[in-house]
Amino acid sequence: MTIFYKIKSKPSQYFVSVISIIITSFICYIISDYLGYKSIALVLLLIVSLLAIVFDFASVLIAAILSALIWDYFFIPPHYTLHVDTTEDALMLIMYFIIALVNGVLTTKIRKIEKITQLKEEKLKSIKLYNTLLDSISHELRTPISSIYGSTDNLLNNQKNLTEENKVNLITEIHKASERLNRLVGNLLNISRLESGNIKIKKDWCNVNELISVVISSLEQELKKHKVEILIDEQFPLLKLDYGLIEQVVINIIYNASIYTAENTTIKCEIKIENYNFIILISDNGCGISEDEIGKIFDKFYRIKRTSTNGNGLGLSIAKGFIEAHNGKIKAFNNELKGLSFEIRIPLISNEIMNLNTIKNEQ
Amino acid sequence: MSNSSILVIDDEVQIRKLLEITLSSNNFNVTEAIDGKSGLLTAANHPPDLIILDLGLPDIDGQNVLKNLREWYLNPIIVLSVRNSELDIITALDNGANDYLVKPFRTGELLARIRTALRLSQSFTTSAVFEFENIKIDFANHLVKKNDEIVKLTTTEFSLLGLLVKNEGRVLTHSFILKEIWGVSYVEQTQYLRVFIAQLRKKIEDNPNQPKFIKTESRIGYRFIS
């Protein structure tokens, strides 16, 4: 039956209906010596019912008419004529036709109801998802807003009692909160771009060496208390990638590493090419995460349990989306340094890799 | 340089207030306009030394205000907008913006950009020799020296450096540089730009991976800062 389910186009549905009726009738005709013509009606009715389960009403109607005619012509005595002798046979023929049709109508109805229930369930599910999303977003928004509101309120109404040092502390909190809000808005925009399928990847030649140093300098503040190790060949070839997306991915992962690991730990970023695969390996020697959380960290708004930080649970799901837009894969694992590693693997084709020497020789 | 006049065209009162406080406390004379039309009018009546322009204006789109201004206004225009897509930034630069800063911005960064733009617009140096830190560029003789030692540059490298230096402080878009140095048919051939920028950095920067002079503006282009 699963094969029939795939037959969506009307003409092929009609064709299959007609063929199945003809074949069944043919088989019945061969064995008609052993089978009374009334039993044959039941066999044909069975075929029409089966067709009704998978096909549209029109195909069932065709099958019903055709099988009624065939039954009448070949099986109801007198044979090879549409003429019906007895009232009983005439009644049976009419009933046969009505039952076949009712069958078709009922199954079509049942299918419609099934579809509606399914749609309703999906709608309920999406409403639930939407509400969880809104909950998470408003939580993420309210936290920095509370911090800004509280700090400014304090600064405006409690000036006399605040020491200079505390004033500076409050202002720093306001600054941090606004940075957090700004990051959240950026992340939300990226998430909605991903969800709406609105990511158009624009591949262009990238100097990965340059990309990595831009990322590191843009995270200068965040990485102040960490050691950063970059392993990349100075002659690393140019690659065709979406610069903006890959930059965002590396920023998100290194940023995460910087906020989830202790001071003075090392963040290592290794870049290489293996069998036409562009590989970015980012590892820290922090404390890793539990194995059962590893599968969840790419989920939207998921945050690992042990720490409270500035993360908003979106960075990694954005990274995953951007890498998948490149047909690539991203995975996380606890490494031999007991920290966490991220491995990104993007498949490339040969004309998406260009050795630097090719260009030097040209000019 | 102090007391330069700056016109702020922005419809958001909070942003205007922030800019007013920041700029006037740094000795700039600030005038404000709340939409494109009044911005154009104010600029025409009292041409300021610099304009800070928002793109999302209620009446005329900022890009059109920019185009309109550039028909006659020669002083620096810095675009300050929440729009951060490649397209918006590149369009604004193509329309004649000297610089582009995305909101939210660091006031220190904005002040630095304003000062650079003003300094460069006031000093029309077309001198044959240009010196910064440990680098000396002699345009007449096609010569570059670093720490008094000659740096061997190819013709292309020299033109590239020249283009960047002559547009100091300005973001030059990828396609603009490619067109200027390699020609119109090379506008899409970003691989040349990537390689030659890397080579140039190796030759003149102390640390090519943390460049001080040739800055990368992600997705947009490059900017030279001395």
**A318 found inside a domain:** yes
Residue A80: its pLDDT value, please?
Answer: 86
**DSSP conformation letters of A309-341:** -S--S-HHHHHHHHHHHTT-EEEEEE-TTSSEE
Q: Is A175 on the interface with B (CB under 8 A)?
A: no
Q: Are B10 and B59 in contact (CB under 8 A)?
A: no
Q: Is A307 buried (19+), middle (13-18) or exposed (0-12) by CB count in 10 A?
A: exposed
User: Residue A266 has what pLDDT?
Assistant: 95
CA distance B197 to chain A (A): 10
In chain B, whose CA is at the least distance from the CA of A214? B216
Q: Where are the domains of chain B?
A: 5-122, 129-224
Section A246-271 average pLDDT: 94
A4 or B102, greater pLDDT: B102
The domain made up of B129-224 has a fold known as Arc Repressor Mutant, subunit A (1.10.10)
CB B142 within 8 A of CB B156: no
User: CA-CA distances (angstroms) from residue A146 to A17, A57, A117, A143, B213?
Assistant: 67, 61, 43, 5, 41
Contacts of A182 in chain B (CB under 8 A): 104
- Give CA separation, A306 vs A270, A289, A303, A309, in Å: 27, 9, 9, 10
Candidate ranges A10-19, A58-67, A115-124; pick with highest mean pLDDT: A115-124
Pick B90 or B133 by higher pLDDT.
B90
Taking the C-alpha atoms of residue A230 and residue A251, their distance in angstroms, rounded to an integer, is: 14
- Select the residue of B191, B198, B219 nearest A244 (Cβ to Cβ): B219
Residue A363: is its pLDDT beyond 60? no
SS3 A342: strand
Same domain assignment for residues A342 and A218: yes
Which residue is listed with tokens 């733009």?
A: B117
In this structure, what is the dihedral angle of CA atoms B138, B141, B143, B148, given to the nearest 10 degrees?
Answer: -70
Pairing type for strands B5-9 and A340-347 reads unpaired
- Closest in B156, B192, B210 to A217, CB measured: B210
pLDDT of A111 reads 84
Q: In this structure, are residues B78 and B114 in contact, taking their beta carbons and an 8 Å threshold?
A: yes
Measured in angstroms, the CA of B203 and the nearest CA of chain A are apart by 14
Decide if pLDDT at A1 tops 50.
no
What is the DSSP code (8-state) at residue B110?
H
In this structure, are residues A216 and B207 in contact, taking their beta carbons and an 8 Å threshold?
Answer: no
Helix (H) / strand (E) element for A240: namely strand A238-241
Tens digits of residue pLDDT in A101-122: 888 888 888 888 999 999 999 9
What is the mean pLDDT of the segment spanning A320-332? 94
Instruction: Kindly report the nearest CA distance between residue B211 and chain A, in angstroms.
Output: 9
A135-157 pLDDT per residue, tens? 888 888 898 999 999 999 999 99
A135 vs A19, more confident: A19
Q: Phi and psi of A180, rounded to 5°?
A: -65, -40
- Of A150, A166, A198, the last residue of a domain is A198
Which ranges in chain A belong to alpha helices (H)? 2-5, 10-30, 37-54, 57-70, 87-157, 164-195, 208-218, 243-260, 291-294, 315-325, 356-362
Q: Inter-chain contact A359–B210, Cβ cutoff 8 Å?
A: no
State how far residue A127 is from chain B, nearest Cα, in angstroms: 31
pLDDT value of position A137: 84
| A291 alpha carbon, distance to own chain's centre | 23
Q: Which of A95-104, A183-192, B48-57 has the highest mean pLDDT?
A: B48-57
Q: How many CA atoms lie within 13 A of A330 on its CB side?
A: 26
Q: Which has the minimum average pLDDT: A310-324, B49-63, B117-131, B157-171?
A: B117-131
- Domain co-membership, A186 together with A300: no
Render pLDDT for A78-87 as a digit per residue (tens, 0 to 9): 888 888 888 8
CB B117 within 8 A of CB B77: no
Please check whether residue A238 touches B, CB under 8 A.
yes
Nearest CB to B198 within list A178, A209, A230: A209
CATH of the domain spanning B5-122, picked from 3.30.930.10, 3.40.50.300, 3.40.50.2300, 3.40.50.1360: 3.40.50.2300
Spell out which chain B residues touch chain A, with contact meaning CB-CB distance below 8 angstroms: 86, 104, 154, 156, 190-192, 194-195, 197-199, 209-211, 216, 218-219
Question: Percent of chain B at pLDDT above 70?
Answer: 97
Q: From CA B35, how far away is CA A362, in angstroms rounded? A: 51
Distance from CA of A355 to the nearest CA of B (A): 10
Please list, in sequence order, all residues whose beta carbon lies within 8 angstroms of the beta carbon of residue A275, skipping any fewer than 6 positions away: none
**Is position A363 within any domain?**
no
pLDDT, tens digit, for every residue of A282-321? 999 988 888 888 888 898 878 776 665 667 788 999 999 9
Last residue of a domain, one of A198, A225, A259: A198
Res A362: pLDDT: 60
Half-sphere exposure of A318 (CA within 13 A, CB side): 28
Assess whether A231 and A185 both reside in one domain: no
- Of B86, B190, B194, Cβ closest to residue A244: B86
Of the pLDDT bands very low, low, confident and very high (cuts 50, 70, 90), residue B12 is: very high
CB contact under 8 A, A178 and B219: no
Q: Is residue A14 part of a domain?
A: yes
Tokens of A327: 């047909």
**Cβ contact (<8 Å) for A210 and B198?**
yes
Contact at 8 Å (CB) between B47 and B73? Answer: yes
Q: Is the confidence at residue A5, as pLDDT, over 60? A: no
Contact A217 B197 (CB under 8 A): no
Residues A133 and A64 in one domain: yes
Q: Is A188 on the interface with B (CB under 8 A)?
A: no
d(C-alpha B39, C-alpha A247), whole Å:
37
Residues A147, A244, single domain; the answer is no
| pLDDT band at B51; cut points 50, 70, 90 | very high
B106 to A113, A179, A233, B102, B113: CA distances (angstroms): 59, 11, 34, 10, 11
Is residue A246, in this structure, part of any structural domain at all? yes
Chain A hits for B156, CB-CB cut-off 8 Å, are 363
- Report the C-alpha gap between A201 and A328 in whole angstroms: 13
Examine residue A29 and state whether it is found in any structural domain, yes or no: yes
- The two tokens of residue A90 are 């005439």
Q: Chain A residue closest to B102 (CA)?
A: A182
Residue in chain A nearest B182 by alpha carbon: A363
Q: Say if residues B101 and B110 touch (Cβ distance below 8 Å).
A: yes
In percent, how much of chain A has pLDDT > 90? 43
Q: Do B191 and A238 touch (CB under 8 A)?
A: yes
Spatial distance between the Cα atoms of A258 and B226, rounded to a whole number of angstroms: 31
Residue A79 structural domain: 1-198
CATH number at A243 reads: 3.30.565.10
Please report the ipTM that was assigned to this predicted complex.
0.85
Residues from chain B contacting residue A247 (CB–CB below 8 Å): 218-219
A60 with A87, same domain: the answer is yes
Q: Note whether A27 and A157 are same-domain residues.
A: yes
Query: Quick check: B123 pLDDT over 70?
Result: no
- Report how far residue A186's alpha carbon sits from residue A318's, in angstroms, rounded to the nearest whole number: 11
CB B57 within 8 A of CB B11: yes
Q: How far is B122 from chain A (nearest CA, A)?
A: 31
Mean pLDDT throughout A316-336?
94
Find the CB nearest B209 among A182, A213, A244.
Answer: A213
Q: What is the per-residue pLDDT for B216?
A: 93
Inspect the interface and report whether the beta carbons of B209 and A178 lie closer than 8 Å. no
Q: Mean pLDDT for chain B?
A: 92
Instruction: Please enumerate in sequence order all residues whose Cβ is within 8 A of that of A23, keeping only pairs 6 or more positions apart, or say none.
Output: none
Residue A212 pLDDT exceeds 60 = yes
Cβ–Cβ below 8 Å for A243 and B218: yes
The full DSSP string for A267-289 is EEEEEEEETTEEEEEEEE-S---
Q: Quick one: A175 and A224 in the same domain?
A: no
- The CA distance from B173 to B189, in Å, is 13
Do A217 and B190 make contact, defined as CB atoms within 8 angstroms? no
On whether both A214 and A111 belong to a single domain, the answer is no
Q: Which residues of B touch A214 (CB under 8 A)?
A: 216, 218
Phi, psi of B77 (to 5 degrees): -125, 125
Interface list for A 302-361 with B (CB within 8 A): 354, 356, 359-360
Examine residue A77 and state whether it is found in any structural domain, yes or no: yes
B41 has pLDDT over 70 = yes
Interchain contact A214–B (C-beta under 8 A): yes
How many domains does chain A fold into?
2
Q: Does one domain contain both A37 and A125? A: yes
Q: Taking CB atoms and an 8 Å limit, are B195 and A182 in contact across chains?
A: no
Q: Count how many pairs of residues, chain A against chain B, have C-beta atoms within 8 Å.
A: 47
Of the residues B192, B194, B216, the best mutation for testing chain A's interface (the one with the most A CB atoms within 10 Å of its CB) is: B194
Q: How far is CA B208 from CA A97, A233, B42, B140, in A?
A: 86, 14, 45, 26
Which residues of B fall within a CB distance of 8 Å from A178? 104
Question: In chain A, pLDDT over 70 holds for what percent of residues?
Answer: 95
Q: How far apart are CA A187 and CA A183, in angstroms?
A: 6
pLDDT score at A244: 92
Q: Are residues A51 and A178 in the same domain?
A: yes
Lowest mean pLDDT among A219-228, A261-270, A280-289, B115-124: B115-124
Give the predicted TM-score (pTM) of the model.
Answer: 0.75
Same domain, A41 and A134: yes
Q: Indicate whether A362 belongs to any domain.
A: no
Nearest CA in chain A to B209: A213
Q: Is A229 on the interface with B (CB under 8 A)?
A: no
